[in-house]
Structure 1
Amino acid sequence: MDLLRLAGVPGVGKSTVAWAIAQQLAADGVRLGYVDIDQLGMCYPGPDGDTDRWQLKETALALIAARFAVAGAERLIVSGVADPAEALSGNGHPTVALWLDADEATRRERLAPRGWTSAQLENALAVGSRETRDAYASWARIPTDGHSVEETAATVLARWGAGVAEAAPARTVEAASGRVIWLTGPRCAGASMVGWEIASARWEKGERTGFIDAAQLGFRWNIDHEVGAGNVAALHRLFSGAGARTTIVAAPFEIAPSDVRAAFPGADVLFVRLHADASTTRDRVRRRVGGDGPRVIGDDLIGASREVVEGVVATAMRQRQEPLREGEVLVETTGSTVAEVAALIVAHLAG
């Protein structure tokens, strides 16, 4: 398996271009995986000596890349930030590393829809300009100004296909096992929002805690072997080894508790299943269609049709009727705020 790293500062288009390349290769029948490295480092406060979590994310990538290779992937695409001041760490696989560039005006235009405050935007632009200027020389640069996503994707593919770098040894990590809070339920029941609320409260108290969006670790095409639960387990072990006593996971309903237990042998896992009624689910889906909430790669609800909305609601209602699976604790979210649902779960943990 060989690997493509697309890095750069916010607004250069790294995730958008990476996803476009993934879709193209998948259509061509390539056995392929995709991950955004930012999803591999949500463990706060950062480990001692690695407060920015650069090393944590690179180690996590080596672990996840190894799992994709075992699953049969021929290629793995990785987008996301990288330490601009250091040479790229080895991940155990031949890697081509490309740094996407864009001037400040282009980045400002692309970042505007994210809804950041003026101060957040200006800070991101200033830091981005500095990191772009000082990025380590080993990164090959590709400008994206004035180019469509398709044009940049074609340029990247040509560079990737031109040859791969020498493979470097992957790092290993000795990991412990902390508690796992596994939040699941039908789509738009609120697992991600509630999980983030619980994690954020712990971070504010300085309690080292991991957060994992399981769906973001399971992107694969033309590969029969499921990788999501195993990737989550590998990342959880890494977070635990870094001192996180709890890892909070937001996961699709389709990952059954039995699969989780197989991936987390002997771990202390609390399974929480969230439900919402049809009206609440429909409202949440429609808000997602309109762009409400955090934007994550692969979100097929952005701009979705009415038919898609009703299909999601129908599936959610069918899943809502399924009996609780072994070990699941039911929490109804209809009529409650995210904070209220999070408080219920925290109270259950305390009890």
Structure 2
Amino acid sequence: MRTATARLWWLHGSPCAGKSVTAWELHTNLLAGEPRAYFDVDQVGMCYPEREDDPDRYALKARSARALARCLVAAGARTVVVSGVLDDASMQALRGEAVHGTDVAFCRVRVDRDELVRRLRARYGPDLAQRALDEAEDADRLDEGHLTVDSGSAPPREVAARAAELLEGARPGSPPPRVDPLPAPPPLPAPDGATAVLLVGPPGAGKSTAGFALFSTLLDDGRPSSFLDLQQVGFLADVPRPADDPGGHRLRAACVAEVWREHRAGGARALVLNGHVRTQGDVAHYRAALGDVTLTVVRLRVGRESLEDRLRERTLGLGPALAGDELVGADADEVQRTVDRALSEQRRLEDEDPADVVVDTDGVDAHAVAEEIAALLGGEPAEDG
């Protein structure tokens, strides 16, 4: 039986303020040795098109985060660290609702205007940079005693230590005030013909890039869809792994099912997954967790030359910026070692063959791969009613 109350620490702030870096530093270093988990709310909120009653998907993100946090706490995490932006109503609702008996505290990461302008201009075009700056200045004006930490010029570890100190002191001494609950969407008609695709393959095969391209293709075809990267659905650390789930896929599948339930209730009819799934037994966990949803497993195959090119790009920080990518900044020797490991994994996947379909990605861009997979799925866009 758990004796200590679990806690959810949520870092929010404007783009480039440093919330993700601070949250990752908390997870990887400051909380090392403690059972913990981390996820970014944007990674569990990719569900489109947006609903008219939730145009920025804040309510959907909050419900998805609540569901995932409950799953991670039930798995043994004492602290769940989250990064990402919500509106005030969703933040207050999460404070007022029980998240598996978890204390919820928010801390805004901010930075002074000149530094924020510099960071925004380095990452975004003028229009997006100005919008983010306006939002940050609005938050400063409306700040009413919320926990706030300045990222400034201090190294991430110092910023994270200050955030931890503030969040530690935020543990409520009494129940939070009653607030309106997170709005729930109306129930869906049944059956709704939902489908799912799981992209597997060795590192560098293009799972993340092709998976997101497939997600975009399905949306363009008129299919309300959601996208989840299995690695990003909760980084769990210092939590004992059950002997009968050595790969952690039973837990990860349960987390996917919790988030998918919210996305499906929000209107999604197709789910795109990608991740390091290696065996038929791994796949079985996802089929069981998704229940009545038809799951198609697609294995992406890649040759050495293409693999080397893609992994070199990742060392430069090109492609999707994902938490936990250990190749960013790696040298040439590490790239070659990763290529060798990836090709060995590809051979093991070919032997085990957990996939329904194999797609070759050599010399083919992600959008072409996505079109091929979408054609394999067939079917017409799902409609409500």
TM-score, with normalisation over the residues of structure 1? 0.91
Match of residue 186 from structure 1: 202
Secondary structure of the 2:92 match is coil
Moved more, 42-51 or 32-41: 42-51
After superposition, what is the alpha-carbon deviation per residue over 1:139-189, rounded to whole angstroms, capped at 9, x for unaligned?
322222232212211111111222413666986966777211111111111
Moved more, 313-322 or 87-96: 87-96
Cα distance in 2 between the residues matched to 1:37 and 1:273? 27
TM-aligned CA deviation for residue 125 of structure 1:
2.4
Match of residue 119 from structure 1: 127
Match of residue 223 from structure 1: 239
Contact 1:257–1:325 (CA under 8 A) maintained in structure 2 = no
Structure-2 change in CA distance of 1:26 and 1:328 (3 Å): farther
TM-aligned CA deviation for residue 193 of structure 1:
0.9
After superposition, what is the alpha-carbon deviation per residue over 1:40-84, rounded to whole angstroms, capped at 9, x for unaligned?
211111124112111101111111111111101111101111215
Moved more, 253-262 or 186-195: 253-262
Unmatched segments (≥5 aa) in structure 2: 1-5, 242-247, 380-385
TM-aligned CA deviation for residue 254 of structure 1:
4.2
Match of residue 98 from structure 1: 107
Unmatched segments (≥5 aa) in structure 1: none
Contact 1:26–1:222 (CA under 8 A) maintained in structure 2 = no
2:332 partner letter: R
User: Is 1:307 aligned to residue 294 of structure 2?
Assistant: no
User: Is 1:33 aligned to residue 59 of structure 2?
Assistant: no
Cα distance in 2 between the residues matched to 1:20 and 1:276? 33
RMSD: 2.4
Cα distance in 1 between the residues matched to 2:199 and 2:141? 41
Q: Among 259, 273, 281, which residue is 1:249 paired with?
A: 273
**What percent of counterpart residues are identical?**
28
Contact 1:95–1:167 (CA under 8 A) maintained in structure 2 = no
Cα distance in 2 between the residues matched to 1:126 and 1:204? 31
Q: Among 126, 129, 136, which residue is 1:128 paired with?
A: 136
Match of residue 332 from structure 1: 360
Contact 2:278–2:354 (CA under 8 A) maintained in structure 1 = no
Structure-2 change in CA distance of 1:311 and 1:171 (3 Å): farther
Contact 1:84–1:131 (CA under 8 A) maintained in structure 2 = no
Secondary structure of the 2:318 match is coil
**Could you list the runs of 4 or more consecutive aligned residues of structure 1 that deviate by over 4 angstroms after TM superposition?**
84-87, 166-177
After superposition, what is the alpha-carbon deviation per residue over 1:80-102, rounded to whole angstroms, capped at 9, x for unaligned?
11215665322522112111111
Cα distance in 1 between the residues matched to 2:200 and 2:175? 37
Cα distance in 1 between the residues matched to 2:353 and 2:232? 23
TM-score, with normalisation over the residues of structure 2? 0.83
